DNA sequence: TGCCAGGCCCTCTTTAGGGCCTT
């Protein structure tokens, strides 16, 4: 055990909902194996629509930067290869999973990877954090960061460091049996099974 | 044309509502 790979993923998008026409504009993803980042993937994408000034300000990604960016279809094909069949992790995974599924669906791909959510896990593991935004948790746990926020690869890397730290903190605080029968019973229904699988894989 | 999210979790709960988090 311990020889497992997780793909941590983050999207920047034109807005909050693919069902309202929003598209992805940048993806960042890292592979985590043996408690370290072993590979990285990043690309801008051209959504063929104009970014709002809010999104330009929020991400630092401008309309001008996207005019020469590759088509979303081409990036999704590469992303699919990158994440392969690995487990996926994202901060507030419901957001990234719905965009990944929506973009995959447009090119007749179907996601087979399971998602776990670092935000829902952090709420359980770090209940005393000021809040459970990625930025706050990175500061709270004094995790490695280059100071960039709201860009896909930077956020994916921070999420990866947060995920690795949570695994380590859980491992050091609880025995395997307690993890199985104690902490896991405190988790919400949806995350319990997924986090347990991840932890089981991470245990030596 | 103009509208514009939604899943999870908590609780003053389950015949529901509201906050958090993502862009």
- What is the full per-residue pLDDT of chain A (204 aa) written as tens digits? 445 799 999 999 999 999 999 999 999 999 999 889 999 999 999 999 999 999 999 999 999 999 999 999 999 999 999 999 999 999 999 999 999 999 999 999 999 999 999 999 999 889 899 999 999 999 999 998 988 999 999 999 999 999 999 988 887 876 555 554 445 444 554 555 555 555 554 443
Strand B-proximal protein residues, Cβ less than 7 Å:
A 10-13, 15-17, 19-21, 54-55, 58-59, 91-92, 94-95, 98, 119-120, 123, 131-135, 150, 155, 187-191
Q: Distances in Å between the alpha carbon of A30 and those of A121, A146, A166, A181?
A: 19, 15, 17, 31
Report CA(A17)–C1'(B6) in Å, whole number. 8
Closest residue, CA to C1' of B7: A94
Whole-structure pTM value: 0.86
DSSP strand E in A14-147: where?
24-33, 36-44, 87-90, 115-117
């Amino acid at each position: 055990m311990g020889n497992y790979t997780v793909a941590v993923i983050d999207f920047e998008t034109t807005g909050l909902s693919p069902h309202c026409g929003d598209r992805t504009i940048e993806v960042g993803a890292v592979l985590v194996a043996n408690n370290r980042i072993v590979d990285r993937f990043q690309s801008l994408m051209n959504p063929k629509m104009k970014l709002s000034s809010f999104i330009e300000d929020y991400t630092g990604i401008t309309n001008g930067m996207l005019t020469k960016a590759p088509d979303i279809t081409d990036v999704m094909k590469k992303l699919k290869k990158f994440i392969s069949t690995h487990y996926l992790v994202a901060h507030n995974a419901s957001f990234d999973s719905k965009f990944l599924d929506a973009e995959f669906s447009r090119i007749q791909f179907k996601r087979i990877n399971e998602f776990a959510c670092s935000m829902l896990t952090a709420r359980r593991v770090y209940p005393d954090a000021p809040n459970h935004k990625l930025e706050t948790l990175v500061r709270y746990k004094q995790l490695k960061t280059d100071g960039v926020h709201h860009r896909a690869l930077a956020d994916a890397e921070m999420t990866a460091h947060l995920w690795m730290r949570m695994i380590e903190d859980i491992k050091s605080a609880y025995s395997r049996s307690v993890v199985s029968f104690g902490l896991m019973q405190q988790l919400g229904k949806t995350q319990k099974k997924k986090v347990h699988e991840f932890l089981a894989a991470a245990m030596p």
